[in-house]
A and B are shown apart, each in its own frame.
Chain A
Amino acid sequence: MLSISSYLALKEVWRNRGRFLLVSLVIALITLLVLFIAALGEGLGNGNREYISKLDAELVVFQAKSDFLIQASRLGRNRLLSVRRVDGVDNAGMLGTTNANLIVPADNSSLKVALLGVEPGRPGEPPVEEGQQLGTSQAKEAIIDRNTALRSKLAIGDMLTLRVTQGTDDEFYKLRVVGITGGQQYALQPSVFVPFNTWDTVRPKSEAEIGVSSDPVANVILVKLTDPSQVEQVRSLLTRQVEKVDAATIDEVIQALPGYSAQQSTLNTQGGFTLFIGILVIGGFFQIQILQKVPQIGVLKAIGTSNPIVATAAVIQIVVVTVIGVAVGGLLTFLLSLFFPPTIPIVFNGTSAAVAIIALVLIGPLGGLVSIRYAVKIEPLKALGLSS
């Protein structure tokens, strides 16, 4: 049955290859669109959460009532000490976040970066791929992420200049680049990691903060557990034993990142709609084609072709046209992606591309379902031109 079905299906495709190719091309364009939307979603999401999702920590401690918003939370050193005393906590480090301008040496332009204060050797300090980890809490050193290195052309051993506004003045700070870490963007910005006390010195300050010497204040505390499976237990211990704090898992923090969920759901909706339009386009094409094919399907049935053969042939045809379209679209996407500058947040992630491709391959048969039903119902008598 399969051999006669595929014989009929493929002969028809081959003898009408121009028309079928056109449909494949439409599917290819839909594929291109869907894959790019997926890649954009992945890229944007990634740029937003990259640093957080790669953290060597299971829990993040926030100031109570800060809604898991990192910028809204303030925690001092006394909290850090309490956190470290909680059972099940293996290690904990402060994380301070802010923005700064990095002066690109080549042309003195400024690059907006996320300036992150981390404690050397504690959770929060990213592992370097080249060079060394940070020395001490006061060291005038920095680790930059791959993205920052690409855009600023800074290398290990170079001096890095930060421009920050403190009070009403622009201040310049020079730090030595000691290490380069992988992709560690934070809030869609390339990042610069500095020792926590250095961070407190160089971070932008309001007029009121200048000259007042106080204990440096972090945004959140990153907690690594002795046993990662004990997340819930340690979380409730933390909130009970440390004053006025909330604890969140990494996933919860990511979902609470400003704009993250909204952005992802917008892009998912767009992708879904594109797939839906694909179903309609393919469904429409095959329906029109079936209407034109009533006499020939009638002949086939009259000479003794069974319904399963007719239906299988229709499915094979749709699958072939869709698979060719998706393959061409995938290839086009790949070729196009080679020409995209690294500054555009596009990331082709295996899983999301695979999901998109499976969805795309399924839209063909789904769209063609109505036409297949119609083909099965055609009366062979119609071939005789007898009954209408």
Chain B
Amino acid sequence: MTAYALETQSVIKTYNSDSGIIKAVDDVSLQIAAGEFVALVGPSGSGKTTMLSILAALLQPSSGQILLDGQDLATMSDVARVALRREKIGFTFQANNLVPYLTAVENVELMLRLNKKLDRAGRMRARELLARLGLGERLNNLPGQMSGGQQQRVAIARALIHSPSLVLADEPTASLDTERAYQVVETFAGLIHEQNRAGIMVTHDLRMCEYVDRVLQMQDGKLVKIYTDRKDILKLAKGGRHS
């Protein structure tokens, strides 16, 4: 087996609803290497968030294999999955990202605290990371005192601070204006490459694909197309706002 950071085999997730069985994720197999940043795109309801939740060890697939650093998430105990999320995965969510009673820097440090790795160097790194994301002046602000975009950047810092193998972001630019969105994704991509993480970003905004190495396109739960060629990706990114 090659050394992919993340590798899935025939992942299926079905839901039972009134109108029958919904295949939210339908036989998805993919591989992502360390240091690679990919975008997950597709129309609404195509299964992006569901797939991301499965990769995040938040949702159990109906069948299939998900190997993160060689460990299979699908067969792990609940306790082991909690530990895995804490140690090997970094997240940003669409909304409600931060713990509201912790300041920006405390939110970032929380990840180290949870892993019992908060030391002087860790505190320094948290501040540096926030400064790099343009939040040097906002270290001690509570989430309620920051804009949506600032909160999103704090979440990005939190997703990276504990050196996870896998970084997942669901619509990180949803609450940002175009200018800010470009900036944030560029920094995000830079950090992922620099720190050699495997990164996956779900986005509706194809223009953000400019900064990724590959684009995975989903439709009706299936992985229908993979853009690997730089030219194709740039064409897709120029193409417009919506997938």
Stretch at the interface among B82-90, B129-137, B225-233: B82-90
Q: Mark B75-94, 1 if CB is under 8 A from A, else 0.
A: 00001001111110101011
Decide yes or no whether A104 CB sits under 8 A from chain B.
Answer: no
Select one of B59, B82, B87, B111 contacting A381, CB under 8 A: B59
Q: Mark A374-385, 1 if CB is under 8 A from B, else 0.
A: 000000110111
Decide yes or no whether B106 CB sits under 8 A from chain A.
Answer: yes
Given contacts A304-B87, A305-B114, contact A385 B99 (CB under 8 A): no
Decide yes or no whether B100 CB sits under 8 A from chain A.
Answer: yes
Contact indicator A384/B49 (Cβ below 8 Å): yes
Contact indicator A383/B101 (Cβ below 8 Å): no
Contacts of B170 in A (CB 8 A): 384
- Number of B residues near A (Cβ < 8 Å) is 35
Contact indicator A304/B83 (Cβ below 8 Å): yes
Tell me the nearest residue of chain B to A11, going by C-beta. B101
Please report which residues of chain A, range 294-309, place their CB below 8 angstroms from some CB of chain B when the two chains form the complex.
Answer: 295-296, 298-307
Contact indicator B102/A384 (Cβ below 8 Å): no
Tell me the nearest residue of chain B to A294, going by C-beta. B96
Contact indicator A302/B49 (Cβ below 8 Å): no
Select one of A12, A16, A303, A386 contacting B111, CB under 8 A: A303
B108: min CB distance to chain A, Å: 11
Contact indicator A15/B95 (Cβ below 8 Å): no
Interface size class of A (residues with CB under 8 A): 20 to 34
Decide yes or no whether A7 CB sits under 8 A from chain B.
Answer: yes
Decide yes or no whether B146 CB sits under 8 A from chain A.
Answer: no
Given contacts A7-B113, A305-B114, A384-B93, contact A299 B82 (CB under 8 A): no
Contacts of A359 in B (CB 8 A): none
Contact indicator B99/A15 (Cβ below 8 Å): no
Contact indicator B82/A306 (Cβ below 8 Å): yes
In the complex, A303→B49 CA distance in Å?
Answer: 16
Select one of B79, B91, B95, B101 contacting A303, CB under 8 A: B91
Contact indicator B82/A296 (Cβ below 8 Å): no
Contact indicator B53/A4 (Cβ below 8 Å): no
Contact indicator A302/B93 (Cβ below 8 Å): yes
Contact indicator B99/A300 (Cβ below 8 Å): yes
Contact indicator A384/B94 (Cβ below 8 Å): yes
Select one of B59, B82, B96, B101 contacting A16, CB under 8 A: B101
Contacts of A16 in B (CB 8 A): 101
Please report which residues of chain A, range 86-113, place their CB below 8 angstroms from some CB of chain B when the two chains form the complex.
Answer: none
Contacts of A11 in B (CB 8 A): 101-102, 106
Contact indicator A381/B93 (Cβ below 8 Å): no
Please report which residues of chain A, range 1-26, place their CB below 8 angstroms from some CB of chain B when the two chains form the complex.
Answer: 4, 7-8, 11-12, 14-16
B107: min CB distance to chain A, Å: 9
In the complex, A386→B168 CA distance in Å?
Answer: 15
Given contacts A304-B83, A384-B53, 4 further A-B contacts (CB under 8 A): A11-B101, A300-B99, A302-B56, A304-B86
Contacts of B142 in A (CB 8 A): 15
Please report which residues of chain A, range 64-85, place their CB below 8 angstroms from some CB of chain B when the two chains form the complex.
Answer: none
